[in-house]
Chain A
Amino acid sequence: MASKKKIIAPVMFMLLITVLYTSVLAFINESTKGIISEQEQLRIKRSVLYVFNMKSDGTSDEVNQLFDESVTAEEVDGTLVYKRLENGVATGYALAYTGKGLWGSISGYIGFSPDFTEVLGVDFVAHSETPGLGGRIDEPWFKEQFRGITVDSVKTLVIKPSDGGNIDGITGATLTSVAVVNIVNQFIIDTLAFAKEANL
């Protein structure tokens, strides 16, 4: 009978301590849920404002205010489309993209002019490129290059110094630069088809 006791006591102990810690964690999780989802929303809002080239001073209040004032999100055929409105007229659309980078997927937002003839801006939200090399896609000089580029139905972006090049690649990160260009080009082709179908 002694062996039976040795089983029950540890199981009870483990059960007790598991219940205790799980409830503490559940409580913490529940009480921070709101803040965490707010932070995630804020990241998306910052990114959408960036691709629309709308400057804010970066504080969360101002980002929220600017976003709520001039951007509306609506679902079109199962895709979330962010629409920029100025005096009731749409002046841009932003869509989320995901694509294959060199080391992992790259995702972010691309902004288009309302007639889908011009890229307003590109932003990267998540990527796993090498810091200091491919990771430099986060630097402003790289991202700013995408503004105002004319949309082409086949190949919008071409890396310099090729014929008709419009994007400077990153030195030492050729594969990441090519990956980004391919993602954006493919996304533009898909978006043009999507916009035509959805009558945006």
Chain B
Amino acid sequence: MNEIIRVFKAGIYKDNPVFRQILGICSSLAVTNFLANSFVMGVGLMFVTAFSSLTVSVIRQFTPKHIRMMVQTLIISAYVIILDIFLKAYFPAMSKNLGPYVGLIITNCIIMGRAEAFAQNNKPFISFFDGLIMGLGYTLVLMSVAFVRELLGFGSLFGIQVLGENWVNWTLMIMPPGAFFMIGIVIWVTSKWFPKEEEKGGAKA
């Protein structure tokens, strides 16, 4: 139980993949112009991270150490392809919006980072949970960035217009520079809120 709480805290803020480990920045910049896109991307990443951590953990005792990276990449890509096919078949519009970024989940450092840093040395259940929570931490950051960008850039939330007719869309927010500003602000604010614990190793590239 203690371990579950520890993993939960780590994923959400202490060791959050985006603002603490600075991983998965590329997709955080790319898909955060709409809340719906960020949500689907986040859930997709949770799915891939959780199941690849689980699989890596299950086969960790049989995997020859020196080829583990190859094995991890294979496992990750398999789950990403499953996700890609699923979106194409059941959410074609979303699949079109996210474009190449679903396929690029394969290169998201969060997943391999968790497989290497956690799943490799832990039991299957807790590895699965760790992957899920790390994905959730990523999703929360993406959603909060997307909340501000969509609200200011389109005046809407989840595609529903919330700011009145008089609102002039702040187009910069939905263009790439808006994402850079927002991610920068998130990293700055969170480093004030959650100061690094001295004894912890902290960010790993």
Contact = CB atoms under 8 A, between A and B. Distances in A.
A127 to B, nearest CB: 11
B74 A130 contact: no
B67 A10 contact: yes
Interface stretch (A25-33, A160-168, A185-193): A25-33
B195 interface: no
B175 A35 contact: no
B175 A132 contact: yes
A172 B154 CA distance: 14
B92 A14 contact: no
Interface in B94-108: 96, 99
A105 to B, nearest CB: 14
Contact of B89 (A21, A35, A131): A35
B89 A14 contact: no
Q: Is the interface of A mostly helix, strand, loop or mixed?
A: helix
Contacts of B163: none
Given A32-B89, A36-B85, A10 B78 contact: no
B90 A18 contact: no
A39 interface: yes
**Tier of interface size on chain B:** 20 to 34
Contacts of A24: 78
Given A18-B74, A132-B171, A13 B67 contact: yes
A39 B88 CA distance: 8
Most buried by B among A32, A42, A128: A32
B1 interface: no
Interface in A5-24: 6, 9-10, 13-14, 17-18, 21, 24
B78 A35 contact: no
Contacts of A130: 174-175
A115 B63 CA distance: 69
**Tier of interface size on chain A:** 20 to 34
Contact of B71 (A14, A25, A131): A14
B85 to A, nearest CB: 5
B154 to A, nearest CB: 6
A185 B126 CA distance: 60
B196 to A, nearest CB: 36
Contact of B64 (A13, A29, A36, A132): A13
Given A21-B74, A39-B92, A130-B175, A29 B66 contact: no
Contact of A29 (B62, B70, B85, B96): B85
Interface in A127-148: 128, 130-133
21 contacts: A6-B64, A10-B67, A13-B62, A13-B63, A14-B71, A14-B74, A17-B59, A17-B74, A17-B75, A21-B74, A29-B85, A32-B86, A35-B90, A36-B89, A39-B92, A40-B92, A126-B96, A131-B33, A132-B154, A132-B175, A133-B175
Interface of A: 6, 9-10, 13-14, 17-18, 21, 24-25, 28-29, 32, 35-36, 39-40, 42-43, 126, 128, 130-133, 172
